[in-house]
Structure 1
Amino acid sequence: MIDRSLSLFQLCDSNFPTGSFSHSFGLETYIQEGIVHDKESFSRWLKVYLHEQLVYSDGLASRLAYEALVEDDLDKVWELDRLLTVQNLARESRDGTQRMGDRMLNITEELYKIPVTSQYRRRIKEKQSFGHSALAFTIVGYHLHVDKETTILYYLYSTITALVQNAVRAIPLGQTTGQQIIHEFQKELVVATDKVMQLKKINFGIVSPGLELSQMKHERVNIRIFMS
């Protein structure tokens, strides 16, 4: 019997067409300012992004959404959708996550025929929800009976690998260097997942001001290859 977590891992492929290749979530601002320019400086940025933003927003939301699905409390999932959107102060990043979320919901609805996914898309169409890839990913993980911790770990992994591939293009880095970074970040992802599992709901949205400012400033960078 095939492990169902392998089906969820399909969503982690950097080629999975959610549009993540179009978004740097503030990384391009740091590149333009010369702060990120090689493997070492990018790895420092990625570590901060993982532990100081992703853990406290998408990661924690994924855990809370999974717990809400276990309780069959969809109102909590829709509330998390709203919180993820309104706490994202940078317009481009906010719009980017909505586009990626809507695209992931569209694809996963076709792949898995999950009633909650169909309901989520209907709410977005009726402007009752915004859409977010972290929640779409979590719904699929729960539907496939992948445990909570693995679902969170896979989501964090998918986000990090997408950012690494974008850095390979933008800095630029070699493909081998990109794979080295992904390999080196495996331990960081485990640490981040453990942290998510220990956080309280009140910790949601505690993100680095520097990262938020870089995402806001991206609207005014001189030359850009990313939408956010």
Structure 2
Amino acid sequence: MEMHITPTKALSRFIQLLDGVFPSGAFVHSFGLEPHIVLGFVNDKESLKNFLENIIEDQYQKMEFTIVKKVFTLLKEEKLNHLLKEDKKFASMLSYEWAKASKDLGENYLKHIDFDIKTSIVKSYFEKVKNKESYGNELFILSSYAYELGLDEDIFLLLWAKKSLINIASASLKISRIKPSEIQQILFSFDEILEEKIQQSSRKVSNFNPLFEEVIFSHLNLEPKMFTT
């Protein structure tokens, strides 16, 4: 019988790291939720659920899920130079505000987690970031730390995605009439599909998100926001 070892330490660390009140803070792009609410596209439980599902399918499956899996592969193969190139390439695909927030959060996380690192490839990558020889995107830093702690990439993505969806959904509380209990129900419903969506992520990274583009062209004065704590 195959034995399954629960990475208790890794899970404990990431529960702390992914909490929005963590000293390093947390950020998430809304991908146009506020404009969608103002324009009436999101106005109830079902439309909010559809909006969040589209984020998973149009954004996470084609970008974040894909890049994290690539980071884990490069770490396993100990290809540091390729990792540095992907770090820089990922930043170039983000908007200026998004890229800056990702770098700032990545560096802040690194200040707190850069201790007792034993895996040579992770240690080398962290050194490159500290020496300003690599960009240090938040997802690259967190993925590397997850790898260091022996956390499975799918479990890490599940934790990260759920945290991000919670933060995005919370933006609707003050500007819509959707009840908090309904939002909780929506978030619970994603437990059944996130694992499947992670498995079905794209092989190539893409930064085209039709959900984001739609709202930009619909109303140029209503811009998606970046939430930072």
TM-score range, shorter chain: 0.7 to 0.9
Residue 187 of structure 2 aligns to which amino acid in structure 1?
I
Residue 72 of structure 1 aligns to which amino acid in structure 2?
E
Equivalenced residue count is 219
State the SS of the aligned residue for 1:34. coil
Tell which deviates more after alignment, 211-220 or 165-174.
Answer: 211-220
Pairwise CA distance, 1:43:
1.3
| Contact 1:25/1:93 (<8 A) preserved | no
CA–CA distance in 2 between the matches of 1:116 and 1:217? Answer: 45
Structure 2: tracts of 5 or more residues without a match: 1-5
TM-score with structure 1 length normalisation?
0.78
TM-score with structure 2 length normalisation?
0.77
Pairwise CA distance, 1:193:
1.1
Tell which deviates more after alignment, 36-45 or 107-116.
Answer: 107-116
Residue 105 of structure 1 aligns to which amino acid in structure 2?
L
Deviations 1:134-193 (A, max 9, x none): 212211110101122222222222222221223334436443233212201112211211
Tell which deviates more after alignment, 146-155 or 16-25.
Answer: 16-25
1:92 maps to 97
Tell which deviates more after alignment, 62-71 or 212-221.
Answer: 212-221
CA–CA distance in 1 between the matches of 2:220 and 2:137? Answer: 21
* Alpha carbons of structure 1 residues 226 and 157: separation in structure 2 relative to 1, 3 Å: closer
1:159 maps to 164
CA–CA distance in 1 between the matches of 2:216 and 2:109? Answer: 22
Structure 1: tracts of 5 or more residues without a match: none
State the SS of the aligned residue for 1:220. coil
Structure number, greater radius of gyration = 2
2:3 maps to none
| Contact 2:10/2:151 (<8 A) preserved | yes
1:204 maps to 205
* Alpha carbons of structure 1 residues 22 and 72: separation in structure 2 relative to 1, 3 Å: closer
Which structure shows the bigger proportion of residues in helix conformation?
1
CA RMSD of aligned residues (A): 3.3
